[in-house]
Structure 1
Amino acid sequence: MIEKLERTTQLFQFADKYKGSYNNALKPFVFPFYYSYSGYKDELLWGAAWLHKATKNPMYLNYIKVNGQILGAAEFDNTFGWDNKHAGARILVSKGTVPP
């Protein structure tokens, strides 16, 4: 379990360091079969929310606080799906920060 969590943390750090959509590099190969219209920002928030839940490390909650506006956390779209995870990230964060 620890090894998977370490790899997940490394993957999140990589994604944060090299921000961007794979669509730009792989568009001829993946479009129209799979194309992310929302981009990568919701996935970074989604990943940080899950890592906060899994580790209880306040660093991930702080990441969301610092980067949330830039990554679209305030978007009013409450739809959750494979291409938009903003609503899911909000729910995960609220469940982890609000006392039961």
Structure 2
Amino acid sequence: MILYNVTVNIDMMVEEEWINWMKATHIPNVMATGLFTDNKFYKLLHESEDGGVNYSVQYFAEDIQKIHDYQENHAPALQEEVREKFEGRFVTFRSVLELVP
């Protein structure tokens, strides 16, 4: 199992709008690619020094090829939608993790 984790620091002024948009639009669009088997959406409980709020959006894939397919063929357009809607209001950090049996 491979985890594609997206950690987002979002401006508190748009936090509620961003959460609603993520749940109603972005996460369903990522899942509609058919490359992920499941997803989780978490709020980090520690405070951010810059006044933003941190979230982790996790997408689970069966293998690394599905992650590569997503990154090459789907991520650029989906990430551009986020930039257009919330430009200057967020910072993102992405990581890919492998389950250790």
Return the structure number with greater relative CO, CA threshold 8 A, min gap 6.
2
Structure number, greater radius of gyration: 1
Q: TM above 0.5, one fold?
A: no
Taking structure 1 as the reference length, the TM-score comes to 0.31
The answer to which structure has the higher strand fraction is: 2
The answer to which structure has the higher helix fraction is: 1
